[in-house]
Structures are given as structure tokens and as C-alpha cells.
């Protein structure tokens, strides 16, 4: 649901806090619903697309972890996030 639901890619280094990561298809947070901090994937795509994430900031570091976080409210029910 545009501006209300979304998926965020996050990174953690050395077991530290999770930090949002921007990529080619992410957007600034709308400030509505669950999107308040960092870049998000949101809206609908009619077809599959290619995504690129710049990884050099984490090259050579140890214990680098990535996660996708899905945030949604209860007003609209549709398919989630596919990758």
C-alpha cells in the first residue's frame, strides 16, 4: 500500500544496530504509516526488476549482516514482497 506499507533493507556490522540501506529502487520514507526512517521499497511493480545495492562500504569488514524488514498496517490485504 503506497505511503503506508513497505520493505526496508538493513545492514548490521559486528552485531551493532540495524541501519537502513538505500538502493536503486528505494524511496525516501513517506512519514505515514510505518515508513518513518530511511529508504523504503513501496508501491506495486507490474513486472520483475533488477536491483543494485552498493556494497563497497562493507568490504573488508567482519560480521556484516543484511536483512529485509516488512512493515504493514491492517487496512489493505495484498501479496507481500517477492524477491
Position 20 scores a pLDDT of 93
Position 9 scores a pLDDT of 93
Position 40 scores a pLDDT of 85
Residue found under cell 510505518: 34
Which residues of the chain register pLDDT less than 50?
Answer: none
DSSP string, 2-15: TTT-EEEEEEEETT
Q: What is the pTM of this model?
A: 0.79
Q: Are 78 and 4 in contact (CB under 8 A)?
A: no
pLDDT digits (tens, 9 = 90+) for 4-17: 678 899 999 999 99
DSSP string, 48-61: --------GGGTT-
Three-state DSSP class for 38?
A: coil
Amino acid at each position: 500500500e503506497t505511503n503506508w506499507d513497505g520493505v526496508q533493507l538493513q545492514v548490521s556490522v559486528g552485531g551493532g544496530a540495524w541501519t537502513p540501506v538505500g538502493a536503486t529502487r528505494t524511496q525516501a520514507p513517506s512519514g505515514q504509516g510505518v515508513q518513518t526512517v530511511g529508504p523504503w521499497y513501496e508501491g506495486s511493480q507490474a513486472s520483475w526488476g533488477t536491483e543494485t545495492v552498493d556494497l563497497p562500504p562493507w568490504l573488508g569488514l567482519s560480521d556484516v549482516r543484511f536483512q529485509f524488514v516488512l512493515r504493514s498496517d491492517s487496512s489493505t490485504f495484498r501479496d507481500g514482497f517477492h524477491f
